[in-house]
Structure 1
Amino acid sequence: MPGDEKRWGLNVTKQEWFKYGALFLLAVVAFGVAGIALTNPRGPGEAVSPVTASSPVATPTATATPAPTVAATAQQLKIQLPAQPVLLILGDSYTAGDGADQPDQGWAYVVANALGYPTNIDGVGGTGFAWGGGEQDNLAQEYEVRLQEIAANPTFVPNVLILQGGQNDALITSPDEIQTATAQTIEAARTLWPGVQVVVLGPSAPHPLAEELQGANSAVRAGAAAAGAPFIDAYEAGWFTGANSPGFDFDGAHPNTAGHAHLAEKFLESWATLIQ
């Protein structure tokens, strides 16, 4: 029929156009897939998880690490025990053994015997880091003063020092004064005996006196932490409780012989964790 050649020629042109158009579309799709692969590389066999509107992209969030508390910092510290320890235990009436049937039944003497190190024990009742003794704090027997007196004797050179106390420091109305005195005492010991390893045993007492020591305990603990010395927190650990105090109390202020033995036992448990 007339016009068939033109019609067929038009039909061939359309077919070719569709063919080339399809090829072009496939090329575009292939190029897009390759681009996705390049921007989202994965290992062999690793699946690609599609991100949809119902699957929001997670954004990383910073997790704050809480700063260690003063108590935690002091308790986490340890000491480097010398190869040949020479020990000085300095404190108040507890270290002197007051309340025990015999002074050598006091906690400090029990600890010294258990450890087996050459040891000097210096306990003076009514004294503390900041409180010098006497009803008016007028005896000038603060721990730092006594350390200086001990250091004047060159025949005894300790390389381990246990500072016990804080009960009498509860008479000080300023926690900052107690904290400062504690830190200065520790630093003084390090100056007097370079390399000495210092451990602080905080205040403790049978109930009800123990209930009055929280402020002093916190201040002594803060002073130990400021000086970087391990702190054994007998108060927070509850060495003396309302339940056990009747069996450990001597006079309402001091432990009896059993109370001193209890203090020594608890101290040695803590000591073992400090020297590991």
Structure 2
Amino acid sequence: MLAGLLCVLLATGADLHAGAAAPRPRLLVLGDSIAGGSAQGGNGAQGWPSLVAEQLGLTLRLDAKGGTGYTTGGRQEGGRPYPQRVEQAIAAEPDVVVVEGSRNDVSPAKTRATAVDTLRRLRAGLPHARILVIGPVYSFLRPIDSHPIDTAVSAAAETLGVPYLSAVRRGWFTGSAHRFIGGDGVHPTDAGHAYLARQIRPEISRLLHVRDRSG
């Protein structure tokens, strides 16, 4: 009887996998050591990209190299500027792309032009993906009104109509939150990455309309 029922289902084109779970949305993070982790913390599952992906039920592809940025490839082996990593990002076919950084960029004019080019190519290659830009993450103890590189990346995101999170304007690691910066005075600890995940997760949740599983 079971064999006969199976034949009927196959003949009528019934979907035997109708109850299968839908594939999880794909998150790609392009960034520097603030996204990739450092000796101070945030490596692997402890990094904010992994934490955000877990808490929102996403699959993660992380492309983060220390010392890199829109205009620099840094000194780490395999490090390349962001524009040279765009095609690889497009090939991953993510549902949402987060571009973070970078405090390694030094020329505001060059950074702005290169960021515009990078974001324009990402949007053209991934027309259905959501894109979020996070500005350079500095570790000043006291709040500052602005920073030339943050202003440059913000202007590039505005040019393309892309959502932007300014760590500078939000004072992410100032005041009491400075305790989340490691002994090198630059990079977040594991607790700092958990803190970053709490700042970034709500925006990605809104972009993808996915439920936050963290709490």
**What's the counterpart of residue 133 of structure 1?**
74
248 and 269 in structure 1: CA distance in 2 versus 1, 3 angstrom threshold: farther
1:269, distance to aligned residue in structure 2 (A): 3.1
Please say if residues 133 and 163 of structure 2, whose CA atoms lie closer than 8 Å, have aligned partners that are also in contact. Answer: yes
**What's the counterpart of residue 146 of structure 1?**
85
Please say if residues 206 and 249 of structure 1, whose CA atoms lie closer than 8 Å, have aligned partners that are also in contact. Answer: no
Partner Cα separation in structure 1 for residue 24 and residue 54 of structure 2: 16
Amino acid at match of 1:185: T
1:188, distance to aligned residue in structure 2 (A): 0.9
Please say if residues 89 and 164 of structure 1, whose CA atoms lie closer than 8 Å, have aligned partners that are also in contact. Answer: yes
User: Structure 1, residues 172-206: CA drift from partner, whole Å, max 9, x if none?
Assistant: 2xx22111111111111122223222110111132
1:273, distance to aligned residue in structure 2 (A): 4.9
Partner Cα separation in structure 1 for residue 167 and residue 80 of structure 2: 24
Structure-to-structure mapping, 1:12-51, within 5 angstroms: none
1:115, distance to aligned residue in structure 2 (A): 1.4
Instruction: State how many pairs are aligned.
Output: 185
**What's the counterpart of residue 99 of structure 2?**
163
Q: Aligned Cα RMSD in Å? A: 2.7
**Percent identity between the aligned chains?**
32
194 and 102 in structure 1: CA distance in 2 versus 1, 3 angstrom threshold: closer
115 and 272 in structure 1: CA distance in 2 versus 1, 3 angstrom threshold: closer
1:249, distance to aligned residue in structure 2 (A): 2.8
| 1:223 matches 2:153 | no
Partner Cα separation in structure 1 for residue 42 and residue 131 of structure 2: 29
Partner Cα separation in structure 2 for residue 275 and residue 193 of structure 1: 15
Partner Cα separation in structure 2 for residue 227 and residue 128 of structure 1: 19
Amino acid at match of 1:92: D
| 1:113 matches 2:54 | yes
| 1:94 matches 2:30 | no
85 and 200 in structure 1: CA distance in 2 versus 1, 3 angstrom threshold: same
Partner Cα separation in structure 2 for residue 209 and residue 150 of structure 1: 35
TM-score (norm 2): 0.75
1:109, distance to aligned residue in structure 2 (A): 1.1
User: Structure 1, residues 3-47: CA drift from partner, whole Å, max 9, x if none?
Assistant: xxxxxxxxxxxxxxxxxxxxxxxxxxxxxxxxxxxxxxxxxxxxx
Partner Cα separation in structure 1 for residue 179 and residue 86 of structure 2: 34
What is the DSSP-based 3-state SS (H/G/I as helix, E as strand, rest coil) of the residue aligned with 1:168? coil
Partner Cα separation in structure 1 for residue 204 and residue 70 of structure 2: 21
Rg comparison, structure with higher value = 1
| Structure 2: tracts of 5 or more residues without a match | 1-22, 210-215
| Structure 1: tracts of 5 or more residues without a match | 1-82
Please say if residues 180 and 223 of structure 1, whose CA atoms lie closer than 8 Å, have aligned partners that are also in contact. Answer: yes
1:161, distance to aligned residue in structure 2 (A): 0.6
211 and 262 in structure 1: CA distance in 2 versus 1, 3 angstrom threshold: same
